Amino acid sequence: MTSGSRDLLRLHRVEYPIPVHYLCYASWGACYAVGGLRQLLTAPVLLAVAANLVLPAAMSVLNAAVDVRGDALNRGKADLAEATLRVGVRSATIVTAVEMGLAQMLAIVASLVARDATTAVVVAVIIVLHVLYNAEPVRLKRRGFANPLTLGVSLGLLPCLATFTVVRPDIAPATWLIFAGLSTSITGRALWWMVPDREADAAAGTVTVAVRHGAARAVTVSCFIAATVPVLLGWGLWWRYGPAVALPGIVVSGAFLAGQLSLLRRDRPSYARIRKATMAPMTIATVFFTVLPLVALS
C-alpha cells in the first residue's frame, strides 16, 4: 500500500473499531424492518446500506480538511493533520464531494427500485447536515449543543429511516422509540468525545460544548443523555418484541452507561481513558442492537 493510500484511509477513519460502527449505523434501519434475513440481501436494501456506509466516511474526510488547523494542535490527532496536509485540503474536499455524490446516486437508485422516494430524500438531508456541520458560515460544529445533536440525527436517526423505508413505509411508534434511543446514544458519545479535543478546539476558535461549558459539565451532560438510552430502547423493544428481547437490551445499554459514568471521576479524561472506559462496551452495544432484531425474528 502506498503512502498516499494510507493517508486517504486515515482521513476516512477506518481504523478498528470505527468501520464496525459505520456498518452498524448503515444497516440498523433495515435490520428492524425486514421480516427475514433474505430481505437484507435484496437490491434496494443493499443499495441503501451502501449509501449509508459511504456518508460517514465522506464526512470524516471533509471534517479532516476543515479541521486541519485544530487537529495539528491536538496530540491525539496530529497524525491526522499530517495525513490531511499530504493529501491536500483541496484534494480531500474533492474526494468528499465525489463520495457524497456517489452516496446520493446509490440512494436514488435504491428509491427507484423500491418505488419510494424517501431514501433519496433522507440521504440528501444527511449530506446537507454533514456540509452544514463543517462549512462556514453555519458550521454547526461550533454551535454548542447543535454539534452532538446533528451527529446523532445524521449518523443515527436519518440512516435508520433511509434503510427502513426501502423495506416498508410504515414505521410503528415502538420502532420510532428504538431509533430515538440509537440516535440518542450517538449524541451522548459525540458529546464526551469533545472533551479531549477541548484545548485544540479552543485554540482553533471552535467553540464546542466542552470549550464553552468546560470538560466536567460536558461529561456530566453526556451521561445524563446516555441515561435516557436504556429507557428509550427498553420501552421500544418491550413494546415491539416483549420483555424477553427488551431486558437484554436494557442490560447492554446500561453496561455501556456504566463505563461512561466512570469518567465522572475525572475533570479532563484523555483519549486513552475514554477508550478504555467506553470503547469496548460501545462497540458491543452497537453490534448487539444490530443483531438483536434479526435474532428476534427466529
> Higher pLDDT residue, 277 or 98?
98
Which residue type sits at 160? C
Residue 291 neighbours by CB distance under 10 Å: 11
Q: pLDDT digits over 224-246, tens only?
A: 888 999 999 999 999 999 999 99
Q: What confidence score (pLDDT) does residue 214 get?
A: 81
Angle subtended by helix axes 280-297 and 215-241, to nearest 10: 10
Place of cell 482521513: 11
The mean pLDDT value of the chain amounts to: 88
Q: Determine the average pLDDT of the residues in 63-77.
A: 82
Residue 110 · residue 119 · CB < 8 Å: yes
Does residue 278 register a pLDDT over 70? no
Does residue 220 register a pLDDT over 70? yes
Q: pLDDT digits over 2-38, tens only?
A: 767 888 898 898 888 889 999 999 999 999 999 888 9
Does residue 264 register a pLDDT over 60? no
Alpha-carbon distance of 34 to 45, in angstroms, equals 9
Give the DSSP per-residue string, the chain: --HHHHHHHHHTT-STTHHHHHHHHHHHHHHTT-SSGGGGGSHHHHHHHHHHHHHHHHHHHHHHHHTHHHHHT-TTTHHHHHHHHHH-HHHHHHHHHHHHHHHHHHHHHHHHHHT-SHHHHHHHHHHHHHHHHHSTTT-GGGSTTHHHHHHHIIIIIHHHHHHHTTT-S---HHHHHHHHHHHHHHHHHHHHTTSTTHHHHHHHT---HHHHH-HHHHHHHHHHHHHHHHHHHHHHHHHHH-HHHHHHHHHHHHHHHHHHHGGGG-SS--HHHHIIIIIHHHHHHHHHHHHHHHHHH-
Q: pLDDT digits over 108-154, tens only?
A: 999 999 999 999 999 999 999 999 999 988 989 888 889 999 999 99
Alpha-carbon distance of 247 to 234, in angstroms, equals 7
Alpha-carbon distance of 157 to 64, in angstroms, equals 24
Does residue 268 register a pLDDT over 60? no
Q: Determine the average pLDDT of the residues in 248-252.
A: 92
- The band of 272, judged by pLDDT with boundaries at 50, 70 and 90, is low
Q: What confidence score (pLDDT) does residue 75 get?
A: 75
Q: What confidence score (pLDDT) does residue 144 get?
A: 85
Place of cell 437490491: 43
User: What dihedral do alpha carbons 82, 88, 90, 95 form, nearest 10°?
Assistant: -90
